[in-house]
Amino acid sequence: MSTNPLLDTTGLPLFDQIKPEHVTPALDTLLADAEAALAKVVGPDVPADYDALSLLLDVSTERLGRAWGAVGHLNAVADTPELRAAFNDNLPRITEFYTRLGADERLYAKYKALNEAQKTVDPELRLSPARQRALDNALRAFVLGGAELQGQAKVRFAEIQELQAARSQAFSEHVMDETDAYAHYVRTEELDGVPDDIIQATKAMAEGESKEGHKLTLHMPVYLPVMQYANNRHLRETMYRAYSTRASEFGPSERDNTPLMTEIVALRQEEAQLLGYKTFAEVSLVPKMANSPQQVMDFLRDLAKRARPFAEKDMAELREFARTECGIDDLQAWDVAFVSEKLKEARYAFSDQEVKQYFTEPTVLKGLFGLIESLFDVKILPDTAPVWHESVRFFRIERAGKLVGQFYLDPYARTGKRPGAWMDDVRGRWKRPDNGATQTPVAHLVCNFAKGVGDKPALLTHDDVTTLFHEFGHGLHHMLTQVEDLGVSGISGVEWDAVELPSQFMENFCWEWDVVQKLTSHVDTGAHLPRELFDKMIAAKNFQSGMQTLRQIEFSLFDMRLHAEPGREANVQSVIDEVRQEVAVNIPPAFNRFQHSFSHIFAGGYAAGYYSYKWAEVLSADAYAAFEEAATPATGVLNPEVGRRYREAILEAGGSRSAMENFKAFRGREPRIDALLRHQGMS
């Protein structure tokens, strides 16, 4: 067997063996194999037949994709200078290959011939609905991939893809590096009000560097509690300035994302024009549920109008409380989290810190797994696999003793790991044409929680718990699919503005008493969360929901306008300033550079698609309402029959039908906005 672990794509990735020096030689081999497959498949000897094309091309490109996926994953969770160099050295040739593959006229012709043949073939011999959808998606991808372009336009299109990939990667690196590079050392007395577990953790970080006092960083498990609890206003301002100006002109020029944003958006606009569209926003929406940029902006503005009275009330209360109870007459951006936490404690008589003591990570996982098992008729069991860090765990999902899927869980923040939380696929469910076996899906579930201190387990805030449920929703969508065609199994082929449905759906369970009891055991006493405390959390559930809704709309409208108004990339700041004037009730200071670390749209696939969080929330709230409507005293919302219908209509169907067809199969009708407004206290 080869000594290069990236060439072993038969089983799970050998994460413990992959080294930077393996990357280039492995890709030499895998790209050559994929090139050979492409050359053969477009030749006269291979018919325009689904299985014949898949056997040659899908087998080799899936193998390439899995190896490159492993490298990309390590680049995101275990970044080193050597690995980053290997990744960046190979990114252009990977991008070049996939761009060329997606624009190959000969291959496009084969797919078109296959599609035409379906119209005249005996109905019994036609492709299955799932395969036909995969073929339709592929034909659309060829058009959007430049397959119909000729001459210089085609050459330039390929150049644009390579430039975009490189610039987006640089954007992401700058955000990670700026986050990792920041350190602010303080004395214990400067942390007055900050929770004890954070004081201990920051002291341990300073000691690890043989320094006095406490090390504060911009990683969320440290940054957020300081902003929420530190009585020291000057400290909050210092941290806020550092966080909100990451990767901007206020830091090292070599990590300033200003020119990258301008270039990325300009490249997208040029791509759109080459494809015959007025704007990149139009291109982005072709494979989505929404029909036009105007429809999206109308949807966002309508939601903003509904949320605004609630947001204005939230803000007025916050300013009044800051003045009368906190002695702050001029509420600033670095006071908002602090005053909000104080107001929440005063109004509902509890704090996030108090709640956190009950959500110990082992109990949360046990409760989450139990919920998934009872609702979706599966078992989740510990499993073994090579991992990239000692804190990563691996699990398997079974139904009736048969393997359904597997996942890695990487829960904790650390240096060299990208901020945020995400689900990514390792491989998809697929009936392989090369051996006839069904390949089971595997997923990555990644979060950035604070690790436990000493022998104590990690303590999760309720927001952390919600994040974990959210990412598991994506994971279940990927792993519980029953579709066996690669392009439409699991999350593949699902419209981007519907892909958040299963993730946001899962968040709702974090607000159910029956569920929360099973998620909690106090870190010192083992007691469940008391009902009285839960009732306070429920009362506070929609605390500032108006402000939070407007904040999401602000990001979504900024994203859509930036990509729907050519020329605006010349001054990105002016776009977000205008959007804030239109929708925000809480306008940040002039130095705020949020957009410079907005990786979702500049480095993460959400360009002209960030609205999908709000769009899908309508779907997910309405889907969850089916469980509320069927709740009984015996089952609560955990009704196995409704769980089975949801699993079959949404999770198992994956991308094999349109998201609207999946939704209607489950609900029997189109989605309505009522449940979302009710859930957020805005009905």
d(CA 182, CA 595): 19
> Inter-axis angle of helices 333-348 and 233-244, to 10 degrees?
120
Average pLDDT for 290-296: 97
Domain 5-102+104-144 and domain 361-539+613-679, same fold? Reply is no
Q: Which of 378, 368, 375, 398 is nearest to 643 (CA)?
A: 375
Task: Supply the CATH classification number for the domain 5-102+104-144.
Answer: 1.20.1050.40
Per-residue pLDDT of 570-581, as tens digits, reads 999 999 999 999
H or E stretch including 186? strand 184-186
Letter string b/e over residues 518-555, b meaning 16 or more CB atoms within 10 A of that residue's CB: bbbbebeeeebbeeebbebbeebebbbbbbbbbbbbbb
Per-residue pLDDT of 318-369, as tens digits, reads 999 999 999 999 999 999 999 999 999 999 999 999 999 999 999 999 999 9
pLDDT score for 1: 47
Cα separation values, 183 from 98, 221, 416, Å: 40, 14, 15
Per-residue pLDDT of 183-238, as tens digits, reads 999 999 999 999 999 999 999 999 999 999 999 999 999 999 999 999 999 999 99
Residues designated as active site = 471
CB of 527 within 8 A of CB of 540?
A: no
Task: Report the CATH fold assignment for 361-539+613-679.
Answer: Neurolysin; domain 3 (1.10.1370)
Q: What is the DSSP letter of 508?
A: G
Torsion-angle region of 294 (φ positive above 0: left; ψ -120 to 50: alpha; else: beta): alpha
Segments making up each domain of the chain, as ranges: 5-102+104-144, 182-245, 254-350+545-610, 361-539+613-679
pTM of the model as a whole: 0.94
d(CA 330, CA 319): 8
The rounded mean pLDDT for the chain is 97
Q: What percent of the chain has pLDDT over 90?
A: 97
Per-residue pLDDT of 302-314, as tens digits, reads 999 999 999 999 9
User: Which position has the token pair 């990001």?
Assistant: 555
Per-residue pLDDT of 74-128, as tens digits, reads 999 999 999 999 999 999 999 999 999 999 999 999 999 999 999 999 999 899 9
Q: Which of 533, 536, 191 is nearest to 359 (CA)?
A: 533
Q: What pairs with residue 443 in β-bridges?
A: 407, 425
CB of 42 within 8 A of CB of 107?
A: yes
Task: Report the CATH fold assignment for 254-350+545-610.
Answer: Neurolysin; domain 3 (1.10.1370)
Per-residue pLDDT of 631-676, as tens digits, reads 999 889 999 999 999 999 999 999 999 999 999 999 999 999 999 9
H or E stretch including 107? helix 105-120
